[in-house]
Amino acid sequence: MRILGIEHVAVATADLDEPARIFGQLLGLSKQRTEDIPDQQVITDIYATGSGKIEFVKPTAPESPVSKYLAKQGAGIHHIAFLVDDLRAWLRHLRQQGVELIDQEPRTGAEGFLIAFIHPSSTAGILVELCQRP
Amino acid sequence: MRILGIEHVAVATADLDEPARIFGQLLGLSKQRTEDIPDQQVITDIYATGSGKIEFVKPTAPESPVSKYLAKQGAGIHHIAFLVDDLRAWLRHLRQQGVELIDQEPRTGAEGFLIAFIHPSSTAGILVELCQRP
C-alpha cells in the first residue's frame, strides 16, 4: 500500500480561457481533455505536463464547492492528488489512524479514476485527494 | 524548449513537525532532505512521492515572503514548479510574450536547481516556478 506519485494538481478558476492561453499556448502543455463532472458541479480542462497533470476546475453552478472556494479565496491551487495503488485499503488505514476523511468510500472522478478526499484538518491545512487508476 | 513535468508542489507552513507526521509517517512519503535557503529566509523539508516532490516551506524570519503569505492566507499550497529543459531560453521567450516575471534571471534554489518565478498576474492567479536541474 503506497503512494505512487503526484497524479495532478487542481487549480480553481472562474474561467478556462485564460489557463488555455497561458498553460496551453504559452507554456506548451498539451490539453488531454475537457470533462464535465456533474457530481461536483464543475467542468475541468486537463493538461499533461510530462509527469503529472494540471487540471483547471471551473464551477458550473453557484452551489459547487469550487464556487464557494473562489468566493472565499479567489483563483488558486485547490488541491493536490496523489496516485495510490489501493484506495480502499488506504481509506481503511487512514480511518484507523484517526484521520478525518471527506469521502468514506471511493467515488468516481474525472477520467474514471476512483477518488477520495482527506479533510484538510488532518493534512496540515491543505486539501489532499487520493486516487486510483480505473 | 519544453516543460518536462511537475518537479514539485510547495506548501507554506508555520511548522514542519505536522507535515512530517502526516506526509512522512502516515502517508509513507520518504523525506529526501531538509534544506535551509537563506536567500528566501525559509527552511524546507523535501519529500519524494514517486513522481514529483512535495516541499514544506517554513519561514525563518518575519520578512520572509512565506511569512507574509502565511499571515495573509494561512497554511496552503504556495506554488507549483515545472521542470524545464532550458530555463534561460524560457525566460527570454516569456518576456518576449509580455509575461511578467518575478525573476528576470535564474537564481539558485533548493538542491542547487536553477529557478525563476513567474508573476501570478500572468499565470491565472497562481504562483508558478520554472526550474532546471543543476
Q: What does the pLDDT look like over A84-126, one tens digit per residue?
A: 999 999 999 999 999 999 999 999 998 899 999 999 988 988 9
HSE (CB half, 13 Å, CA atoms) of B106?
21
Q: In the predicted model, what is the mean pLDDT of residues B15-36?
A: 95
pTM of this structure: 0.95
> Can you tell me the mean pLDDT for A61-83?
94
- Does B98 contact chain A (CB < 8 Å)? no
Shortest Cα distance from A69 to chain B (angstroms)? 13
The alpha carbon of residue B50 and the mean position of all alpha carbons in its chain are separated, in whole angstroms, by 18
- State yes or no: pLDDT of B73 exceeds 90: no
pLDDT for the residue numbered A73: 87
Residue B125, pLDDT above cutoff 90: no
CB contact under 8 A, B50 and A126: no
Query: Quick one: pLDDT at residue A69?
Result: 92
Under 8 Å between Cβ of A106 and A116: yes
pLDDT single digits (tens) B79-89:
999 999 999 99
pLDDT on residue A8: 98
Residues with Cβ within 8 Å of A120's Cβ and at least 6 positions away in sequence, in order, are A126, A127, A128
Nearest to A125 among B26, B74, B124 (CB): B74
> Does residue A35 register a pLDDT over 90?
yes
- Detail the DSSP E strand segments found in A26-134: 30-37, 42-48, 53-59, 76-84, 107-108, 114-118, 128-132
Q: Determine, for residues A126 and B97 on separate chains, whether the beta-carbon distance falls below 8 Å.
A: no
| Cβ-nearest to B50 among A1, A3, A15 | A3
Contact yes or no for A50/A32 (Cβ under 8 A) = no
Average pLDDT, chain A: 95
What are the structural domains of chain B?
3-132 (3.10.180.10)
> Cell for A118?
482527506
Best A1, A3, A45, A93 residue to mutate vs chain B (most B CBs within 10 Å): A3
Going by their DSSP bridges, the two strands B3-12 and B76-84 should be labelled as antiparallel
